[in-house]
């Protein structure tokens, strides 16, 4: 329990806002709690790093390349290396499942995501993500205008989004019902601004806002936007419509885990401008699978020879030296010490972990470390015996609560090839703890136990679906302490992020989405491939770049 | 006793009394159609029952105030519950008319008792000429209030079920209130109050649950007499009958009328059957009424007809409901028929056998679930299951009323890789109706049509393929799972006609 003094209503208000608390408590009836559990565990394992010195193995296993971390960045590195024919590769992961924040689960009803659940369809037919999508048979061709086209069954089926507001569901994400002419005019002005940012290119032909962010123009005309917050930019530009502010805030919470007050204007605009080129949002919007980006993880894993990936291995020290690195680890289950002598290492973990692991950084804390902030998230998978009943616009893929601090839920079975939309399903509920003090938010997340989270998830759901408790079969909750790096003002174009991207002594290379400043698949994949290509160079292998 | 308050009571009970009458009349016209007959019989029956009530009032000799309150509570209960109970009776039983006229008689009788009893309660306190004048004035005023507010406010804002419960509640509160008004002349006011409070609570509960009760078919209006109604988990199936034949509705949408369905089904089935390389194995998707199957079974070469319909209630009706069985010629009992109750999209996606002819007879794409069955995603599955020399046909809504929708189906089929042959036929119950015939490739030789058809003939067959200017092709988007443009076209076009 969070605290004995907190009533259920106060708890709901503290995490989800007072509107949900009022609604949930108005409808509160005594009910059996939904059976389930907390399923996170990395919290305990990872904290070992901060404890006392860990044992070191006497003998070090030689290996050409060691990839530390089997999240999207690490697996992308392994994928790139496998394609280049590098055989002696080992990937070690501290969790018992690979995938990082793109992990997924499965039960008798459906597969479902534990984190990232979609990939915006790439705008141009280039880069490593397109290569991966081709391997996955997701690409059907290129249209007359040069845009890649994708398999219909993987693009989000209509209805894509709906929003719940005061008792009814409405189509789309922007709350059009009851919007005044002034609201709509402001929305149109905002969209025109974003389209202009989407179309903007610098003298070298680079998009002002590109995916991945590394391909964006570094012209001060746009990078200057990184100095202030998105909230201040909206204010300065005269965007005051509460509905528009809500939409922008929602976008920031969705992609960056914090509000427009906590995100730089450059990053805020990036969300609306990077995935289009001036013609507005595309109909080939998002690619998704029941297990979310777990499908992409599976595809990456398939390229890595079996046996190269080792789970439950906690790397606690990487010492770069002449001609390679010494890497020390312990097996998470048995506590048995392990060591590797690797010619090349890709350290594919976030900065706050790297700072504890890289030996020279343990001696001298890198200057850039403080610039990296990570927001916590809670993701819950709720299995239902039947589709939730609702009033107004029908069930969509993404179902958003206008008045809650949660992002709402995604329906895992939405893409199923069937007409009948009844029957059991799994809903994935997302809550970014968006408060500006990420550390305090993390405390809050970790101090709440299953009973609290069960109450919170069901309170949030019941506001929109009063009968949902009777349909609920099981609830599993994942608390992510450091789910997403936050693109706070000054971070995207400040020196820290670039300094952290530098390899150490041509033998230790870094990869992770946090180096891109945004916790997105494309960033993780980009930095994974980039690190692998540095490894190839270090091994003296020539290979054309995929970047 | 405060007389003004008593006259207000008269106003309220008069309003409630007329509201119940209007509710029952409206409900009968909604569910049974023919509003003139329904309103005439309900109003007549109600007035007659009020006469019975007035007559019965003479038999109440002692404890008149006590009886009055009890009658108030009785009216509150019956009037308040009438709409939800009648809807439930209609949905779940076959005794709707009994319940309808039973409630008209019961409520009318109780309402008829109210005013005579009230007059008797007040007779010693008000002069007769004033009493009659004032009571009747308020009575008629209440009637005016009810008749104006009912159509303008209560039906559009609350619907019948909640209106009924709300006035029941009002009536119960009047009952409760009159225990104080009449306290000096009541023998056991407390007992009555307890009853009134319990009844009010019951009606409040009903009001809170009113939403769920309202979902029963209230919005549907059938022109003819309803002779059969079932609610399956998938849809509400209603059969209505008129002098000329019977009609089947799914969720309030007409599926066929026995008068002219032969035009629709002959046009649906035969152009495909006479163009397919072979007709041994035929798949029907939707079409649980068995009428398309009847046309298919005319061909002696047919060896296997598999009918895939989601709803067992629909195929059950086609196998067991006498008139429909007669109309479809016992098609579902034919040894060549195989009925599979499953999701058509799942069925196509999961199997692998090929079909010589596929007849796609789904309801129109008026929601996103049905819209999926008209996407390139669905048509690609269809294409995989069509034999190399096979032909499929898709019912494609009206090219006249929903021109863009019709051409959207054609355009989508083309985008899925089919060669298409769009055509149309006049089905008076529906209007001008459209179909799209598809094959892997164009040049299809045609065999002669079966001889015994009522609509199609060798001479006129060619006219189906000509589109007049007002139904001619126009450019539209492809309907895909990720845009569902057809649902939007359809909604927009049909809303202009309805």
Measured between alpha carbons, how far is B243 from A481 in angstroms, rounded to an integer? 72
Query: What does R_g of chain B's alpha carbons equal in angstroms?
Result: 30
Q: Would the pLDDT of A495 be above 80?
A: yes
Nearest chain B residue to A396, by CA: B368
Q: Considering only residues 311 to 350 of chain B, which have any Cβ-Cβ distance to chain A shorter than 8 Å?
A: 343-346, 349
Both structure tokens of B482: 């990720």
Q: Residue A505 contacts by C-beta under 8 Å, 6 or more apart in sequence?
A: A320, A321
CB B165 within 8 Å of CB B205: no
Both structure tokens of B127: 């002069």
Residue B220 confidence (pLDDT): 44
A372-408: b or e for each residue (b if 16 or more CB lie within 10 Å)? bbbbbbbbbbbbbeebbebeebebbbbbbbbbbbbbb
CB A419 within 8 Å of CB B481: no
Q: Please, where are the H alpha helices in A304-419? A: 351-357, 359-363
> Are the beta carbons of A420 and B484 separated by less than 8 Å?
no
Residue B253 confidence (pLDDT): 83
DSSP letter at A143? -
CB A264 within 8 Å of CB A271: no
Measured between alpha carbons, how far is B473 from B231 in angstroms, rounded to an integer? 38
Q: Residue A301 contacts by C-beta under 8 Å, 6 or more apart in sequence?
A: A75, A98, A309
DSSP letter at A281? S
Nearest chain B residue to A157, by CA: B482
Inter-CA distances, B202 with B81, B89, B199, Å: 10, 19, 5
CB A171 within 8 Å of CB B495: no
Q: At what angle do helices B64-92 and B189-208 cross, to 10 degrees?
A: 20
Q: Tell me the residue length of chain A.
A: 547
Measured between alpha carbons, how far is B279 from B297 in angstroms, rounded to an integer? 10
Residue A514 confidence (pLDDT): 97
Nearest-CA neighbor of B413 among B373, B445, B357? B373
DSSP string, A15-44: HH-HHHHHHHHHH----PPPPEEE---HHH
> Are the beta carbons of B233 and A422 separated by less than 8 Å?
yes
Identify the active-site residue in B311, B361, B364, B410. B361
Output the CA angle A530-A535-A540, nearest 5 degrees: 125
A283 touching B (Cβ < 8 Å): yes
The shortest C-alpha distance from A89 to chain B (Å) reads 40
> What does DSSP say about strands A61-68 and A89-92: parallel, antiparallel, or unpaired?
parallel
Phi, psi of B4 (to 5 degrees): -55, -45
> Are the beta carbons of B345 and A152 separated by less than 8 Å?
no
Residue B217 confidence (pLDDT): 45
> What does DSSP say about strands B245-250 and A408-411: parallel, antiparallel, or unpaired?
unpaired
A470 touching B (Cβ < 8 Å): no
Locus of tokens 């949930």: A24
Locus of tokens 């450019």: B475
Inter-CA distances, A95 with A69, A314, B333, Å: 9, 8, 60
> Are the beta carbons of B234 and A419 separated by less than 8 Å?
no
Q: Which residues on chain B are in Cβ contact (under 8 Å) with A159?
A: 368, 484
pLDDT-derived band at A223, boundaries 50, 70, 90: very high
Q: How many Å separate Cα B140 from the centre of its chain?
A: 35
Q: Note the pTM of the prediction, 2 decimals.
A: 0.79
Q: What is the ipTM of this complex?
A: 0.85
> Are the beta carbons of B343 and A419 separated by less than 8 Å?
yes
> What does DSSP say about strands B386-395 and B431-439: parallel, antiparallel, or unpaired?
antiparallel
Residue B221 confidence (pLDDT): 47
Size of interface A-B (CB pairs under 8 A): 60
Measured between alpha carbons, how far is B359 from B351 in angstroms, rounded to an integer? 17
A394 touching B (Cβ < 8 Å): yes
Nearest chain A residue to B208, by CA: A27
Q: Which residues on chain A are in Cβ contact (under 8 Å) with B380?
A: 152
| 3-state SS, residue A288 | coil
Locus of tokens 């790139």: A80
Q: Which residues on chain B are in Cβ contact (under 8 Å) with A157?
A: 372, 377, 481-482, 484
Nearest chain B residue to A283, by CA: B483
Residue B3 confidence (pLDDT): 74
- First-last CA distance in chain B: 55
Q: How many Å separate Cα B327 from the centre of its chain?
A: 22
> Are the beta carbons of B482 and A419 separated by less than 8 Å?
no
What burial class does residue B128 get, using C-beta atoms within 10 Å of its C-beta: 0-12 exposed, 13-18 middle, 19+ buried? exposed
Residue B127 confidence (pLDDT): 85
Q: Residue A343 contacts by C-beta under 8 Å, 6 or more apart in sequence?
A: A63, A64, A65, A323, A324, A507, A538, A539
**pLDDT tens, residue order, chain B (498 aa):** 567 887 888 889 889 999 999 999 888 877 776 667 888 999 999 999 999 999 999 999 888 889 999 999 999 999 999 988 888 787 667 688 899 999 999 999 999 999 899 888 888 788 888 888 888 898 899 999 999 998 888 877 777 888 899 999 999 999 998 888 888 888 888 888 999 999 999 999 888 876 666 555 444 445 666 778 777 778 878 888 888 899 998 877 889 999 999 999 999 999 999 999 999 999 999 999 999 999 999 999 999 999 999 999 999 999 999 999 999 999 999 999 999 999 999 999 998 999 999 999 999 999 899 999 999 999 999 999 999 999 999 999 999 999 999 999 999 999 999 999 999 999 999 999 999 999 999 877 899 999 999 999 999 899 999 999 999 999 999 999 999 999 999 999 988 876
Q: Is A284 left (phi over 0), alpha (psi -120 to 50) or beta?
A: beta
> Are the beta carbons of B480 and A420 separated by less than 8 Å?
no
Q: Which of A141, A152, A168 to mutate to test the interface with B (most CBs of B within 10 A)?
A: A152
**Residue of B211, B233, B370 lying closest to A419 (CB–CB):** B370
Nearest chain A residue to B416, by CA: A152
What burial class does residue A131 get, using C-beta atoms within 10 Å of its C-beta: 0-12 exposed, 13-18 middle, 19+ buried? middle
B483 touching A (Cβ < 8 Å): yes
Q: Which of B385, B480, B482, B483 to mutate to test the interface with A (most CBs of A within 10 A)?
A: B482
B184 touching A (Cβ < 8 Å): no
Measured between alpha carbons, how far is A342 from A500 in angstroms, rounded to an integer? 21
Q: Considering only residues 354 to 383 of chain B, which have any Cβ-Cβ distance to chain A shorter than 8 Å?
A: 367-373, 375-377, 380-381
Both structure tokens of B487: 């649902």
- Average pLDDT on A16-28 reads 80
Averaged pLDDT score across all residues of chain A: 93
Measured between alpha carbons, how far is B194 from B200 in angstroms, rounded to an integer? 10
Q: Which residues on chain A are in Cβ contact (under 8 Å) with B370?
A: 419
Nearest chain B residue to A286, by CA: B482
Both structure tokens of B126: 């008000």
The 3-class SS string of A488-508 reads CCCCCCCHHHHHHCCCECCCE
Both structure tokens of A204: 């070298």
Both structure tokens of B148: 């104006």
> Are the beta carbons of B377 and A152 separated by less than 8 Å?
yes
DSSP letter at A509? E
The H or E element spanning position A319 is: strand A313-321
A152 touching B (Cβ < 8 Å): yes
Q: Which residues on chain A are in Cβ contact (under 8 Å) with B373?
A: 419
B489-494 — which CB contacts under 8 Å span 24+ positions? B489/B402, B489/B404, B489/B405, B489/B408, B490/B364, B490/B365, B490/B366, B490/B371, B490/B397, B490/B402, B490/B405, B491/B366, B493/B401, B493/B402, B493/B403, B493/B404, B493/B405, B494/B366, B494/B401, B494/B402
Both structure tokens of B451: 């001889």
**Residue of B349, B367, B482 lying closest to A155 (CB–CB):** B482
CB B424 within 8 Å of CB B434: yes
Q: Residue B494 contacts by C-beta under 8 Å, 6 or more apart in sequence?
A: B366, B401, B402
Q: Known catalytic residue: B311?
A: no
A284 touching B (Cβ < 8 Å): yes
**Residue of A153, A394, A420 lying closest to B481 (CB–CB):** A153
The shortest C-alpha distance from A56 to chain B (Å) reads 54
> Are the beta carbons of B343 and A420 separated by less than 8 Å?
yes
**Residue of B211, B373, B380 lying closest to A419 (CB–CB):** B373
CB B277 within 8 Å of CB B387: yes
> Are the beta carbons of B369 and A420 separated by less than 8 Å?
yes
Measured between alpha carbons, how far is B276 from B261 in angstroms, rounded to an integer? 23
**Residue of B349, B380, B482 lying closest to A158 (CB–CB):** B482
The shortest C-alpha distance from B7 to chain A (Å) reads 38
Residue B331 confidence (pLDDT): 96
Q: Which residues on chain B are in Cβ contact (under 8 Å) with A160?
A: 482
Q: Residue B106 contacts by C-beta under 8 Å, 6 or more apart in sequence?
A: B49, B78
Measured between alpha carbons, how far is A371 from A488 in angstroms, rounded to an integer? 9
What burial class does residue B210 get, using C-beta atoms within 10 Å of its C-beta: 0-12 exposed, 13-18 middle, 19+ buried? buried
């Amino acid at each position: 329990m969070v605290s004995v003094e907190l009533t259920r209503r106060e708890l709901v208000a503290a995490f989800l806002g007072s509107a949900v608390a009022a609604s949930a408590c108005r409808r509160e009836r005594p009910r059996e709690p939904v059976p389930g559990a907390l399923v996170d565990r990395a919290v305990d394992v990872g904290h070992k790093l901060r404890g006392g010195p860990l044992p070191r193995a006497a003998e070090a296993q030689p290996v050409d390349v060691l990839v530390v971390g089997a999240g999207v960045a690490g697996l992308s590195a392994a994928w790139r290396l496998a394609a280049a024919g590098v055989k002696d590769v080992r990937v070690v992961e501290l969790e018992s499942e690979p995938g990082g924040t793109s992990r997924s689960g499965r039960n008798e009803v459906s597969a479902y995501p534990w984190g990232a659940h979609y990939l915006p369809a790439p705008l141009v037919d280039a880069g490593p993500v397109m290569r991966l999508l081709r391997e996955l048979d997701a690409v059907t061709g290129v249209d007359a205008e040069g845009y890649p086209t994708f398999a219909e069954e993987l693009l989000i089926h209509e209805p894509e989004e709906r929003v719940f507001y005061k008792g009814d569901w409405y189509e789309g994400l922007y709350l059009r019902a009851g919007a005044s002419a002034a609201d709509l005019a402001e929305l149109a002005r905002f969209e025109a601004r974003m389209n202009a940012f989407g179309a903007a290119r610098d003298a070298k032909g680079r998009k002002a806002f590109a995916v991945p962010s590394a391909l964006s123009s570094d012209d001060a005309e746009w990078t200057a936007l990184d100095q202030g917050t998105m909230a201040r930019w909206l204010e300065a530009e005269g965007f005051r419509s509460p509905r528009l502010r809500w939409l922008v805030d929602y976008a920031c919470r969705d992609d960056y885990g914090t509000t427009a007050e906590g995100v730089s204007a450059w990053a805020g605009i990036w969300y609306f401008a990077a995935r289009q080129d001036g013609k507005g949002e595309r109909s080939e919007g998002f690619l998704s699978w029941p297990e979310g980006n777990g499908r992409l993880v599976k595809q990456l894993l398939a390229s890595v020879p079996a046996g190269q990936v080792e789970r439950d291995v906690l790397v606690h020290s990487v010492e770069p030296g002449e001609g390679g690195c010494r890497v020390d680890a312990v097996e998470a289950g048995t506590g048995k010490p392990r060591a590797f002598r690797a010619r090349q290492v890709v350290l594919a973990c976030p900065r706050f972990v790297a700072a504890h692991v890289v030996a020279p950084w343990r001696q001298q804390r890198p200057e850039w470390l403080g610039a990296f902030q990570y927001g916590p998230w809670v993701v819950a998978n709720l299995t239902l015996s039947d589709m939730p009943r609702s009033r107004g616009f029908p069930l969509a893929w993404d179902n958003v609560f206008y008045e809650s601090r949660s992002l709402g839920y995604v329906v895992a079975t939405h893409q199923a090839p069937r007409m009948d939309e009844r029957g059991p399903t799994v809903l994935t509920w997302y809550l970014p703890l968006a408060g500006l003090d990420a550390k305090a938010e993390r405390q809050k997340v970790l101090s709440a136990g299953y009973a609290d989270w069960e109450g919170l998830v069901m309170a949030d759901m019941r506001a929109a679906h009063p009968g949902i408790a009777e349909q609920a079969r099981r609830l599993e909750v994942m608390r992510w302490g450091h789910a997403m790096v936050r693109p706070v003002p000054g971070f995207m174009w400040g020196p820290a992020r670039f300094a952290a991207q530098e390899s150490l002594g041509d033998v230790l290379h870094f990869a992770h989405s946090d180096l891109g400043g945004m916790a997105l698949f494309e960033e993780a994949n980009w930095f994974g491939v980039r690190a692998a290509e540095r490894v190839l160079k270090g091994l003296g292998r020539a290979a054309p770049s995929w970047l | 006793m405060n007389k003004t308050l008593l006259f207000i009571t008269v106003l309220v009970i008069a309003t409630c009394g007329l509201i119940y009458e209007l509710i029952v009349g409206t409900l009968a016209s909604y569910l049974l159609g023919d509003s003139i007959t329904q309103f005439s019989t309900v109003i007549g029956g109600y007035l007659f029952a009020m006469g019975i009530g007035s007559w019965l009032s003479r038999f109440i000799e002692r404890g008149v105030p006590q009886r009055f309150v009890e009658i108030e509570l009785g009216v509150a209960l019956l009037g308040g519950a009438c709409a939800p109970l009648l809807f439930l009776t209609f949905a779940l039983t076959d005794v709707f008319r009994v319940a309808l006229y039973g409630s008209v008689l019961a409520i009318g009788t109780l309402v008829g008792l109210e005013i005579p009893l009230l007059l008797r309660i007040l007779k010693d306190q008000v002069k007769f000429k004033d009493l009659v004048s004032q009571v009747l004035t308020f009575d008629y005023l209440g009637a005016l209030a009810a008749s104006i507010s009912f159509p303008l406010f209560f039906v559009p804002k609350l619907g019948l079920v909640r209106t009924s419960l709300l006035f029941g509640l009002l009536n119960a509160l009047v009952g409760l209130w009159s225990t104080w008004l009449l306290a000096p002349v009541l023998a056991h006011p407390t007992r009555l109050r307890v009853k009134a409070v319990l009844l009010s609570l019951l009606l409040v509960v009903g009001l809170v649950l009113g939403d769920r009760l309202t979902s029963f078919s209230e919005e549907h209006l059938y022109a003819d007499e309803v002779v059969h109604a079932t609610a399956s988990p998938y849809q509400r199936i209603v059969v209505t009958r008129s002098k000329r034949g019977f009609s089947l509705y799914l969720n309030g949408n007409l599926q066929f009328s026995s008068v002219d369905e032969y035009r629709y089904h002959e046009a649906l089935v035969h152009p495909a059957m006479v163009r397919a390389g072979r007709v041994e194995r035929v798949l029907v998707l939707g079409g649980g009424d068995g009428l398309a199957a009847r046309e298919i079974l005319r061909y002696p070469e047919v060896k296997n007809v598999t009918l895939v319909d989601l709803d067992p209630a629909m195929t059950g009706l086609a196998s067991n409901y006498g008139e429909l069985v007669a109309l479809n010629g016992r098609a579902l009992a034919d040894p060549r028929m195989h009925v599979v109750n499953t999701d058509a999209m799942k069925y196509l996606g999961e199997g692998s056998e090929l079909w010589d002819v596929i007849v796609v007879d789904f309801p129109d794409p008026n929601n996103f679930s049905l819209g999926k069955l008209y996407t390139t995603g669905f048509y690609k599955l269809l294409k995989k299951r069509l034999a190399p020399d096979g032909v499929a046909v898709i019912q494609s809504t009206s090219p006249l009323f929903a021109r863009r929708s019709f051409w959207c189906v054609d355009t989508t089929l083309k985008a899925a890789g089919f060669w298409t042959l769009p055509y149309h036929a006049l089905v008076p119950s529906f209007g001008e109706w459209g179909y799209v015939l598809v094959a892997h490739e164009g040049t299809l030789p045609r065999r002669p049509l079966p001889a015994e058809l009522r609509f199609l003939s060798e001479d006129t067959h060619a006219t189906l393929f000509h589109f007049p200017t007002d139904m001619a092709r126009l450019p539209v988007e492809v309907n895909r799972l990720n845009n569902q443009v057809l649902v939007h076209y359809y909604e927009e076009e049909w809303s202009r006609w309805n």
